[in-house]
């Protein structure tokens, strides 16, 4: 029962659409009508407001961390992981937005950092390096998702590797259109207004 409650708690925390709320409050209207239509930090950056994009990124990371850490403190590690995955589901499929949310990269980073700081840090570093080299946020996200389970396996944490693989599978699923654009060479670069 604790796992179900933790999953639901994570879902509710993850479903807060910070990108949408912040851009509306700043007078940019509905972020879903800009660029990719996504509610995440990369699309918020397309408004030209770097501060809003940074705030969206930070809040999306924090909601993933909070979900896992709160549930873990109350019900233990397994419940923490359930809440972390729930936060991912809430961000990607928020009930408040007709189940059309973000892609889960920042929230996933928060979840991975809270589950294991070294695994999360490795994923973030891979994202930063790949995004800096390619100027493609989606390429960084996909590379980071591939790296996290491998890092956990190398560290001998099969449980975390499986968890990170589940997070990665959700992020890859949400990036289907990006993958198609990457293959076609039409994926927008970081900071590019569309």
pLDDT in tens, 114-131: 999 999 999 999 999 999
pLDDT number for residue 32: 92
Q: Is residue 194 part of a domain?
A: no
Which pLDDT tens digit goes with each residue over 19-78? Answer: 999 999 999 889 999 888 889 998 898 888 999 999 999 999 999 999 999 999 999 999
Q: Is residue 99 part of a domain?
A: no
Q: Is residue 117 part of a domain?
A: yes
pTM of the predicted model, to two decimals?
Answer: 0.92
Q: Is residue 78 part of a domain?
A: yes
Q: Is residue 192 part of a domain?
A: no
According to DSSP, residue 36 is labeled T
Residue 46 is part of which domain span? 2-91+104-184
For the cut 70, the answer to whether the pLDDT of residue 191 exceeds it is no
- Please state, in angstroms and rounded to a whole number, the distance separating the CA atoms of residues 157 and 144: 17
Which pLDDT tens digit goes with each residue over 84-106? Answer: 999 999 999 999 999 999 999 99
Q: Is residue 140 part of a domain?
A: yes
Q: Is residue 74 part of a domain?
A: yes
Q: Is residue 191 part of a domain?
A: no
CA distance readout (Å), 163 to 5, 16, 18, 22, 140: 18, 22, 25, 30, 19
How many distinct structural domains can be found in the chain?
1
pLDDT number for residue 193: 56
């Amino acid at each position: 029962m604790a796992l179900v409650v933790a999953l639901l708690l994570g879902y509710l925390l993850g479903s807060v659409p910070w990108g949408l709320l912040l851009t509306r409050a700043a007078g940019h209207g509905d972020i879903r009508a800009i660029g990719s239509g996504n509610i995440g930090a990369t699309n918020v950056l397309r408004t030209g407001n770097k501060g809003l994009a940074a705030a969206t990124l930070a809040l999306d990371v924090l909601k993933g961390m909070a979900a896992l850490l709160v549930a873990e403190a109350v019900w233990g590690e397994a419940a923490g992981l359930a809440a972390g995955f729930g936060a991912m589901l809430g961000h990607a499929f928020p009930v408040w937005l007709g189940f059309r949310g973000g892609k889960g990269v920042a929230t996933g980073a928060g979840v991975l950092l809270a589950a294991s700081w070294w695994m999360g840090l490795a994923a973030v570093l891979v994202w930063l390096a790949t995004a800096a080299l390619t100027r493609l946020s989606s390429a960084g996200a996909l590379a980071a998702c591939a790296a996290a389970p491998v890092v956990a396996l190398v560290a001998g944490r099969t449980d975390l590797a499986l968890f990170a693989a589940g997070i990665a599978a959700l992020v890859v699923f949400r990036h289907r259109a990006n993958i198609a654009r990457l293959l076609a060479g039409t994926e927008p670069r970081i900071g590019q207004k569309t």
